Chains A and B, each alone.
Chain A
Amino acid sequence: MVWHVTGLAGDHTQDANVSVMNYITANWGLSAPLTAGNIHFDTGWWDQQWQFQVHFRHDYFPTETPKTIGKNYIHKYDDFVNVHVFVQMQQDDTEPVELGQIYREIERIVGTDVTGLQASQGFSYLRFTQPIHTLPVDMNEETFFHGFGTIAIRYHKVNA
């Protein structure tokens, strides 16, 4: 009895946030200074090193729902990946335009093909349930900006 993701030969071999991160990175299309090489894509948190950082975190409660009945029913997973965008700019109290450019690029990639990870990861779709938006910051951290959004993922699994 092993888990199978619908459309795949077996279970996932990597976490959902890593799959989404790799997908976004591979399809990144912005030019300098916001090229993929200039942005630190990771699954952690702001580390005070890179000026532009995008972190994909798998830290929101997923839900599981039976799609069929029986002993080995089909499990429907509604999972979430939180996207955190961090930009540091030595410009007082002014939200840098690069922040919005990164938001829009991520939304463009996700919106271009919501089934972009179906073949490789069995995701029926990925879509923003909460578009990326900038969080308020303290005045003493006015050169540091943090954006946040949530991508929803749906996939199905069966244990057979």
Chain B
Amino acid sequence: MPISSLQEIRSLAAKVLIKDPLNGNDITATVYTDAQARGDAAVKRETGSAWTDTLDALYPSAQEAAEYFATYFVLKRFPSGTKAANGMSVLELYQVAMDICESLSSSSTGSIVIAAKPYKSYPLNPNATNYRSLPAGTGDVDDTTLSGSG
């Protein structure tokens, strides 16, 4: 199953008729499916993942990168200056797709959640009760004993 959406690539490229420059034949469908395959391959190559799990939390990002790559492959057939429907230039499409892949390859598909609780004791927790090993001074302890002078 392809990573990218063919419909999304068509919308992004905004080119509804692509002709063979040599003979004028309509090659639109071929160009789009070929670009989709190239875009998917580029994402797999750059991320080192086959992206077979559509439920993966990062799958939408891989899909976006594949669609940008594929749109690049369509638009590079046209003269320089040609832009995608979202206004991105051909080079921008490629660069953004590469950036997403770089981000994906440095991310983990698994997540570790670390729950942090506040310190229980003073002074790391200033709101905690100030622990005292001796009772508070109520007059029932001989001060001379504490001072060690007796």
For residue A90, CB closer than 8 A to chain B, the reply is yes
Tell me the bound Cα distance from A70 to B136 in angstroms.
106
For residue B28, CB closer than 8 A to chain A, the reply is yes
Tell me the bound Cα distance from A88 to B79 in angstroms.
9
> Contacts A91-B21, A92-B21 given: A49-B28 contact, CB under 8 Å?
no
Question: Per-position contact with B for A39-52: 1 when CB-CB < 8 Å, else 0?
Answer: 01000000111111
Tell me the A1-60 residues at the B interface (CB within 8 Å): 32-33, 38, 40, 47-52
Tell me the A126-149 residues at the B interface (CB within 8 Å): 141, 143-144
- Of all chain B residues, the one with the shortest Cβ separation from A96 is B19
Considering residues A90, A96, A141, A143, which has the most beta carbons from chain B within 10 angstroms of its beta carbon? A90
Looking at B32-40, B83-91, B100-108, the stretch in contact with chain A turns out to be: B83-91
> How many contacting A-B pairs (Cβ < 8 A)?
47
Contact of A51 among B15, B79, B87 (CB under 8 A): B15
> Contacts A91-B24, A143-B79, A144-B79 given: A33-B85 contact, CB under 8 Å?
no
For residue A89, CB closer than 8 A to chain B, the reply is yes
Tell me the bound Cα distance from A51 to B81 in angstroms.
13
Cβ B16 vs Cβ A49 within 8 A: no
Tell me the bound Cα distance from A15 to B15 in angstroms.
30
**19 pairs, A vs B, C-beta closer than 8 Å:** A33-B16, A33-B17, A33-B28, A48-B82, A49-B82, A49-B84, A49-B87, A51-B16, A51-B17, A88-B79, A88-B82, A89-B19, A90-B19, A91-B19, A91-B24, A92-B21, A94-B24, A96-B19, A143-B79
- A: residues with CB less than 8 A from B are 32-33, 38, 40, 47-52, 88-92, 94, 96, 98, 141, 143-144
